[in-house]
Amino acid sequence: RPYQRNFVLDKERVVVAIWSRQAGKDFTTAVKAVDDAFETHQAWYIVSLTQRQADATFAKCQKVAEIYKAILKITGVITSVDGEEYIDYDVDLDEAFRCKARTLFLPGGGSVTSLPGRHPDTLAGLTGNIIFTEFGLFPKGGYEHWRVVFPLATIGYQVVVISTPRGKNSKFFELVS
């Protein structure tokens, strides 16, 4: 669809998608990330509140990468690696969550990594393009997560934000508005 094509081709530093449910946000974002990683050889990070959601988008990236490789007759190996387990601690819930980042390495050096980002400090130190999935659900309106990640957009990386609306008291609503 035209809005999906426009989204994939959008090179702005901050790109926001507010589409209805089941309208292809994750798949279209996977196309955007893989396409850019093949072209620029940069890293992409998929960040969601849960491992399950980040991994769901990651699985779409794996499929898109295989399709690109076949259609474009790209040589080289696409590998997917499960990283080490780590603990993501949520201060507000006083709960620790066992996590495992997964990384897709593409020919030419680009990569896509999925990781849960329940706590904003999980994102500190990342260098690359960021995808926030279901950003409207992030704790404290996503403001703390945005504060950690936004500087990446000022140095040339993209921050892609996708979600369905979840009220007006969030950074997602602010970005859409």
Q: Which pTM value belongs to this model?
A: 0.85
The whole-angstrom separation of Cα 62 and Cα 30 is: 8
- Ramachandran class of 120: left when φ > 0, alpha when ψ lies in -120 to 50, beta otherwise: alpha
Residue where the block lists tokens 């007006």: 168
Question: Alpha helix locations (H) across 12-158?
Answer: 25-40, 51-72, 143-154
Dihedral angle sign, alpha carbons of residues 37, 42, 46, 51: positive
Across the chain, mean pLDDT equals 85
Beta partners for 112? 44, 104
Would you state the torsion angle of the CA atoms of residues 11, 31, 142, 15, taken in this order, to the nearest 10 degrees?
Answer: 20
Mean pLDDT calculated for residue range 111-117: 88
Tell me if 48 sits within 8 A of 162, measured CB to CB: no
Q: Give the three-class secondary structure for 23.
A: coil
Q: Determine the pLDDT at residue 84.
A: 59
Length of the chain counted residue by residue = 177
pLDDT digits over 54-94, tens only? 889 999 999 999 888 888 776 665 666 666 565 555 566 56
- Ramachandran class of 48: left when φ > 0, alpha when ψ lies in -120 to 50, beta otherwise: beta
Cα 167 off chain centre by: 21
Q: Determine the pLDDT at residue 79.
A: 66
pLDDT score of 140 more than 60 = yes
- Give, for 47, the enclosing helix (H) or strand (E): strand 43-48
**CA neighbours within 13 Å on the CB side: how many for 25?**
21
